[in-house]
A and B are shown apart, each in its own frame.
Chain A
Amino acid sequence: MTTTTHTAPTGPAATRALPDGSAQGAPRRRARRPMEAFTAVSYVGASVFGLAAVIPFWMVLAGSLTAESALSQRGYSFWPSPFSTAAYEAIFSGSRVWLAYGATLFITVIGTAMAVAATSGLAWVISRGLPRLSRGLAVFSYIPMLFSGGLVPLYILVTQVLGLRNSLFAVILPLVVAPFLVFVQVSFFRGIPGEILDSARVDGAGELRIFFQIVLPLSKPVLAVIALFYAVTFWNDWFHALLFISDSNIYPLQLVLHNMISNLSMAQDLAGAGAAPLYQIRLAMTVATIGPILLAYPFAQRYFVKGLTLGATKG
Chain B
Amino acid sequence: MTGATGGDPMTATTGRPTATTGRPTATGQTEPATPAAANRRGVPARRRRGVQWRRKDYGLVILAAPAIVFFLVFAYGPMAGLVVAFQDFNIKDGVFGSPWAGLSNFEFFFTSGQMARILRNTLVLNALFLAATLGAGVLLALMLNEIRGTLLRRGLQSAVFIPYFVSPIVISIFLQAFLAGVGGRGGIVNDALNVFSLPSVSWYTEPGPWPWILTIVKVWQLGGYFSVIFLAAITSIPEEVYEAGVIDGASRAQMAWRITLPLLKPTGAVLLLLGVGRIFYGDFGLIYAIVGDNGILFATTDVIDTYVFRALRTYGDFGTTAAIGLFQSVVGFVLVMIALGVQRRYSKESSIL
Chain A residues within 8 Å of B, Cβ to Cβ:
1-4, 6, 9-12, 21, 23-31, 36-39, 41-43, 45-47, 49-54, 56-57, 59-60, 63, 71-76, 114, 117-122, 124-125, 128-133, 135-137, 140-157, 160, 173-182, 194, 206-211, 229, 232-233, 235-239, 254, 257-258, 261-262, 278-279, 282-283, 286, 289-290, 293-294, 297-298, 301, 304-305, 308-309, 312-313
Q: Which residues of A contact B184 (CB under 8 A)?
A: 75
CA of A283 to CA of B177 in the docked complex: distance in angstroms? 10
Question: Chain A CB within 10 Å — which of B79, B143, B145 has the most?
Answer: B143
Beyond A63-B177, A156-B81, A175-B2, 8 additional contacts (C-beta under 8 Å) are A45-B140, A49-B224, A75-B184, A121-B66, A125-B64, A146-B332, A154-B78, A207-B60
Given A38-B256, A233-B2, A75:B185 Cβ within 8 A? yes
> Cα distance A17–B1 when bound, in Å?
22
Do A76 and B8 touch (CB < 8 A)? no
Q: Select one of A75, A135, A173 contacting B180, CB under 8 A.
A: A75
Measured CA separation A305–B232 after assembly (Å): 9
Q: How far is the CA of A2 from the CA of B228 in the complex (A)?
A: 13
**Chain A residue contacts of B74, Cβ below 8 A:** 154, 157, 173-174, 176
CA distance A180 to B270 in the complex (A): 13
B84 and A54 contacting across the interface, CB-CB below 8 Å? no
Tell me whether B135 is interfacial, beta carbon within 8 Å.
no
Q: Is the CB–CB distance between B223 and A149 below 8 Å?
A: no
A308 touches which of B165, B228, B293 (Cβ 8 Å): B228
A177 touches B70 (CB 8 A): yes
Query: CB distance A258 to B232 under 8 Å?
Result: no
Cβ 8 A contact of A2, one of B233, B274, B333: B274
Contacts A137-B17, A141-B67; is A76 near B36 (CB within 8 Å)?
no
Known: A24-B232, A148-B6, A211-B59. Is A137-B167 also a contact (CB below 8 A)? no
Distance in angstroms between the alpha carbons of A279 and B39 in the assembled complex? 62
| B170 lies within 8 A of chain A by Cβ | yes
CA distance in complex: A215, B170 (Å): 38
> If A133-B23, A150-B82, A153-B82 touch, does A118 touch B67 (CB 8 Å cutoff)?
yes
B284-303 vs A, Cβ < 8 Å mask (1 yes, 0 no):
11001100110000000000
- CA A293 – CA B165 in complex, angstroms? 8
A155 to B59, CA, bound (A): 34
In this assembly, does B146 line the interface, its C-beta being within 8 Å of a C-beta of chain A?
A: yes
Residues from chain B with Cβ under 8 Å of A286 in the complex: 170, 173
- Chain A residue numbers with a CB within 8 Å of B202 are none
Please determine whether B186 and A157 come into contact, CB atoms closer than 8 angstroms.
no
Measured between beta carbons, the chain A residues less than 8 angstroms from B343 are none
Q: List, in ascending order, chain B residues with CB within 8 A of A121's CB.
A: 62-67
Q: Does chain A have a CB within 8 A of B26?
A: yes
Say which residue of A42, A47, A236 sits within 8 Å of B166 (CB atoms).
Answer: A236
Q: Are A132 and B274 in contact (CB under 8 A)?
A: no
CA–CA, A146 and B84, complex, Å? 20
A60-B177, A118-B67, A258-B289 known; A145+B38 contact, CB < 8 A: no
Within 8 A of A (CB), among B116-133: none
With A11-B41, A122-B68, A150-B325 known as contacts, the answer to whether A59 contacts B82 (CB < 8 A) is no
Which residue on chain A has the smallest CB distance to residue B238?
A: A29
Chain B residues with Cβ under 8 A from A208's Cβ?
56, 59, 62-63
**Shortest beta-carbon distance from B334 to chain A in Å:** 10
